[in-house]
Amino acid sequence: MSTAAAPAFNPSTAQTRLNSLKHGATSKQLFIPGEDPEAFLSMLQENFRYYKPVTEQQARLVEDATTAHWHLARVQRVHNENEFNHYSAKPDVLDWSNQDMDRLNKFDRYKTQAERSLQRALHNLLAFHKENVRSRQWQQLHELRKQKFEIQRERFELSQAREARLAAKSQIRENNVANKADSEIRFAKNAVSSPPQTPQKPSQSNSEPSQQHQSAPAPCSSEEIIP
């Protein structure tokens, strides 16, 4: 039974791993000794609140940009520490050896690579962020249009209800006028069909007794009869 051959030893790879453990500038680990994971999580939450990813792919871009920012801060910190140590040990630049210069240039390259990685991550991040902002703006405009149409609809319904009330009041007034006119016409017709009655004169027979009574001689008293 054959076994897989062991990978050949690569001195450059071993040296890179050793350097990453020493200063952490090329370490692929998210956290190295001396770093605060809570600071990274706080940065990640802030980026999620700001960029508001809506898909899994967008969430990964937010994580990549946050990690690139975190790594750049690490490289910058290591770069500053390396320069400080060099200037502290050899304040005069003329005393620097080629190895010292190579080491400084190497950290400059680490910093440049970290900055480019962050720029690429931010470019991808801002691309979808602008799209999401446009989408949210469109949704806001759509909501404003809906509210505008809703206000116009309510105004139209109020106008229709007011016109209906005015029409009902006008119809009531017309009905009252018509009813009053009908009442006056009926009253006039009743007055024409039944004229007022004149009082009747008393008949002749009824008046004769009163005349006889008035013309009858008054009875004579006893004194007038006796001579």
Q: What are the pLDDT digits (tens) for 165-209?
A: 888 888 888 888 888 877 878 777 777 766 556 555 555 555 455
Parent domain of 80: 20-160
Structural domain count, the chain: 1
Tell me the pLDDT tens digit for each residue of 11-37: 344 334 334 445 577 888 889 888 999
Residue 147 lies in a domain: yes
- C-alpha 44, offset from chain centre: 28
Burial 42-68 (b: 16+ CB within 10 A, else e): ebbeebeeebebeeeebeebbebbbbb
pLDDT at 129: 82
Residue 206 lies in a domain: no
Residue 12 lies in a domain: no
Which of these, 8, 29, 26, 4, lies nearest to 17 by C-alpha position?
A: 26
Which of these, 118, 107, 36, 38, lies nearest to 76 by C-alpha position?
A: 107
The better pLDDT of the pair 5, 71 is held by 71
CA 111/CA 143 separation, integer angstroms = 46
Residue 212 lies in a domain: no
Residue 187 lies in a domain: no
**pLDDT above 70: percentage of residues in the chain:** 70
Residue 64 lies in a domain: yes
Average pLDDT over residues 70-92: 88
Residue 116 lies in a domain: yes
Residue 119 lies in a domain: yes
